[in-house]
Amino acid sequence: MTDTFVTVQGWLGNDVQVRQAGDAQVASFRLGCTPRRFHRRTGAWVDGPTQWYTVDAWRALGENCRDSLRRGDPVVVHGRLEARVWTNSAGAEVTTMVLEAASVGHDLARGVSRFRKAARVETATPEGPSVAAPAGEQAAAPAA
């Protein structure tokens, strides 16, 4: 099966919410994207209808989203797009667009940002110290 990867620019509609999914954490937020077009006849910019996406970011990416993003931030998200169809309480079929993020960042066309590398965590094993891994990820044992 071929996955559809897209890059979407928009604004966070809510603060990042983190939940546990099995043994992994997933962070979710809503991303609003409003297309803007120049209307030649009137000489004015016109906003189109806002499209809303649910963005899911897993594990370390999700933790970094939680620590970095706030409601109203302009962001760029690249990931796998999926349409989820479900039935609401009124019995109507609803389609929700979900973007499983592969990468997320502030939109630097809208402002400035400072990058800070995530802290690395050292873990000990019976064989000795292990290789450091980014916070939120399992550290690997050193090669023998």
pTM as predicted = 0.76
Phi, psi of 68 (to 5 degrees): -110, -30
Looking at residue 140, its pLDDT comes to 46
- Least confident range of 53-57, 113-117, 130-134: 130-134
54-67 mean pLDDT: 96
The CATH number linked to 16 is: 2.40.50.140
Looking at residue 121, its pLDDT comes to 67
Running DSSP on this structure, what letter comes out for residue 14?
Answer: S
Q: Is residue 103 part of a domain?
A: yes
Q: Is residue 127 part of a domain?
A: no
pLDDT digits (tens, 9 = 90+) for 75-86: 999 999 999 999
Q: What is the pLDDT confidence band of residue 19, given thresholds at 50, 70 and 90?
A: very high
Q: Is residue 120 part of a domain?
A: no
Q: Is residue 88 part of a domain?
A: yes
Q: Which residues make beta-bridge pairs with 71? A: none
Q: Average model confidence (pLDDT) for the chain?
A: 88
Q: Is residue 137 part of a domain?
A: no
Q: Is residue 16 part of a domain?
A: yes
Q: Is residue 134 part of a domain?
A: no
- Least confident range of 47-61, 64-78, 108-122, 125-139: 125-139
31 close to 13: Cβ distance less than 8 angstroms: yes
Domain that holds residue 26: 5-107
Task: Report how far residue 82's alpha carbon sits from residue 104's, in angstroms, rounded to the nearest whole number.
Answer: 17
